[in-house]
Amino acid sequence: MSSTDEHSQASPRRRLSRHDRQRQLLDVAWRLVREEGSDALTLARLADQAGVTKPIVYNHFITRSGLLAALYQDFDARQTARMEAALDASDATLQSRAAVIASSYVECVLLQGREIPGVIAALTSSPELERIKREYEGIFLDKCRAVLEPFAGTKGITRAGLRAMLGAAEALSNAAATGEISADEAKEELLASIVAMVARTADNPSS
């Protein structure tokens, strides 16, 4: 037996933990979406690209919908972690806190490039996936409300205002991801939108 054979037998391939395996599968899934689009993302294709058997992928995600949901959850977790870290380091002013929300959202989308618009679009393909998307959007909006509420007037931060902010965030971030506008332009415009939204909650001065 050669020394190479002895080494290969003495050093068996390390089995990944469930957490590490899921991280690997998600990373491969993001790459697939980036290179081939969300329509190409199937559990069978993911197994092939990740170099694992189909049962392993099915064990983690069960269905394609489950995989898409996991990708969105992964994106949301990164976005939340980035925003919370930046908020902890920011000044307690409207301008500073609004800038954190704007920058965190745009930067997180840019980190995923053009993948996240495809995943978000796919999430609207069924009521179940749309429900998941709405659920995570709601968590994000509640976080933004808590951050901005101390600077609001007596009218408070409305759900309509938060939804308008989210719509602007998605549109501006996607435009930056495709190169239509720069990242700085997206952040500045989103910041202005957030500050204006909060300013509208103030009582109108009496004439």
pLDDT of residue 126: 74
pLDDT of residue 203: 65
Same domain, yes or no: 99 and 35: no
pLDDT of residue 10: 44
pLDDT of residue 93: 97
Average pLDDT over residues 156-184: 94
Q: Which two tokens stand for residue 21?
A: 């395996």
From residue 170, how far is each of 13, 80, 97, 107, 158 by CA, in Å?
A: 42, 15, 19, 12, 19
Same domain, yes or no: 49 and 80: no
pLDDT of residue 115: 77
pLDDT of 206 over the 60 cut:
no
Same domain, yes or no: 103 and 77: yes
pLDDT of residue 39: 87
Over its C-alpha atoms, the chain yields an Rg (Å, rounded) of 21
pLDDT of residue 187: 97
pLDDT of residue 14: 65
Same domain, yes or no: 78 and 137: yes
Quick check: is 10 in a domain? no
Quick check: is 50 in a domain? yes
Quick check: is 176 in a domain? yes
